[in-house]
Amino acid sequence: MFRRGDTGPAVEEVRATLTALGLLKGPWRLSGEAEVFDDATDRAVRAFQQRRGVTVDGLVGPETYAALQAARLSLGGRILLHVPGRLLGGDDVAALQERLLELGFDAGRVDSLFGTRTEQALVRFQREYGLVNDGVCGPATLRALKQLGRLVTGGRPQAMRESEALHRSGVSLAGKVVVLDPGHGGGDPGATGHGLQEAALVMDLAARLEGRLTAVGVQTLLTRGPDSCPDDADRAGLANRARADLVLSLHVDRADSPACHGVATYHYGTVPSGRAGAGTVGSGAGGAGVGTGAGGSGTGGSGAGTGAGGSGAGTGAGGSGAGTGGSGTGESHTGAGSGTGVTSTVGERLAGLVQRELVARTDLLDCRTHAKSWSLLRLTSMPTVRVELGHVSNPGDAARLDDPAFRDTVAEALLVAVQRLFLPKDLDPPTGIMRLPDLAHLA
């Protein structure tokens, strides 16, 4: 973990990457002088985190460092191919996936990983355009990709595929597979405050929701037991192997300020390069500020606003970011997608439904719906939503979360949101009125 004030080779690497990305500029230090994680670096890291859809905290931890490494790779800089067990990842893979989708080849979600689906899409492209169909993106394939214009117009191809798959699955929840992911667990209690532990709270909530889902015929799987804490890759792997219809990841939050409170939901999505609105950060005296184009960041708490043109607004000192651009209602799109699968459209819709049902049925503050590229959201191949159900550091939210009746209300809100995802518009009820018995006639 690197932060303001740190020095060393890793900090030098971070600064070099930020400079190459246009987020940081001089003055250059003399030869042999140590690179310092200064205020300008902190601002540049935050701008990068906002652009990439990771937690905006100015800290270079494993997730931010991995994103920095991925950002250094551009399409054409290396040979790309499928390596089972050690998948190639990076921005170059994401660019390849986007290009294939633009040309009408189903590479799946733009997740920056060269998996089987990307290989199959590349082989189909190579076959159709008279190339050696070996699934390797080398110089000849790259030239062909660059020479062709976009063939899919009038919408986002991956979004259309997701929506069609949802339509074909039918309105009934019976027979569907839902994975519930109670956050943390085992030796990791998660957020703590007012005598509450996140891991225990969300495990209890998962059990309540599991019972309700089972009652309407859903096959429900949990990513962990009470004494285990798998990493995000393992949790995503379980969902992918089960071919789940969707994943709900359950969490509660905390912040340094007890004033922070409210509920937020997150779906997979990123802000494409060139649309993040982050200006270059100067490191001279006084340092220039960071631009606030598409979606500024909240400071601390539950993330960042991602509506196009909106900047984040905390709900208290260091509070939960709430985007002022369009987010999470109806079919609006959180974040500026590139039009080629950067945003999980169905995940975005589910996140909006979850958010609205929770706000309508409880008195939790609406901290909106946001796009993020956190590992679980990115690595799952089905719509995945992370729910942050209040702040245990806030007295009011903690009292609500400690109440079993409140957790029952939350479980019912989540169940209704899942059902509404599969309903056509003519059957979709107003927010906040559907109850468990109403689902019986849909089975």
Give the residue-averaged pLDDT of 402-429: 95
Which stretch of DSSP H or E encloses residue 361? helix 345-361
If you average pLDDT over every residue of the chain, what do you get?
83
| 439/441 Cα distance (integer angstroms) | 6
pLDDT score of 163? 73
pLDDT score of 282? 44
Q: Tell me if the domain spanning 160-269+344-442 has CATH number 3.40.630.40.
A: yes
Phi/psi of residue 438, nearest 5 degrees: -65, -20
Query: Nearest CA to 303 among 355, 239, 260, 356?
Result: 260
* CATH fold for the domain made of 9-71: Muramoyl-pentapeptide Carboxypeptidase; domain 1 (1.10.101)
Give the residue-averaged pLDDT of 420-441: 85
pLDDT score of 150? 58
Give the residue-averaged pLDDT of 11-26: 91
Q: Which residues on neighbouring strands pair with residue 220, listed in sequence order?
A: 178
E strands of 317-380, at which residues? 366-372
Place of tokens 């798959």: 165
Asked whether the beta carbons of 43 and 289 are under 8 A apart, the reply is yes
pLDDT score of 310? 35
| 94/87 Cα distance (integer angstroms) | 13
Q: Is the pLDDT of residue 189 over 90?
A: yes
pLDDT digits (tens, 9 = 90+) for 155-172: 566 666 677 777 788 899
Report CA-CA distances (Å) from 23 to 64, 231, 281, 377, 434. 15, 31, 6, 26, 48
Q: For helices 62-71 and 39-52, what crossing angle results, to 10°?
A: 80
Asked whether the beta carbons of 229 and 186 are under 8 A apart, the reply is yes
| 131/127 Cα distance (integer angstroms) | 6
Q: Do domains 9-71 and 160-269+344-442 have the same CATH topology?
A: no
| 434/218 Cα distance (integer angstroms) | 18
The sign one gets for the Cα dihedral 80, 81, 83, 87 is positive
Give the residue-averaged pLDDT of 397-405: 98
Residues, the chain? 443
Q: Is the pLDDT of residue 15 over 60?
A: yes
The sign one gets for the Cα dihedral 423, 427, 431, 436 is negative
pLDDT digits (tens, 9 = 90+) for 51-77: 888 989 999 999 999 999 999 999 999
| 351/367 Cα distance (integer angstroms) | 12
- Residue 306: band (very low, low, confident or very high) from pLDDT cuts 50, 70, 90: very low
Residues in Cβ contact with 386 at an 8 Å cutoff, skipping those fewer than 6 apart: 249, 251, 265, 266, 267, 372, 374, 376, 377
Superfamily of domain 91-153 in the CATH hierarchy: PGBD-like superfamily/PGBD (1.10.101.10)
CB atoms within 10 A of CB 276: 22
Domain ranges of the chain: 9-71, 91-153, 160-269+344-442
Asked whether the beta carbons of 365 and 253 are under 8 A apart, the reply is no
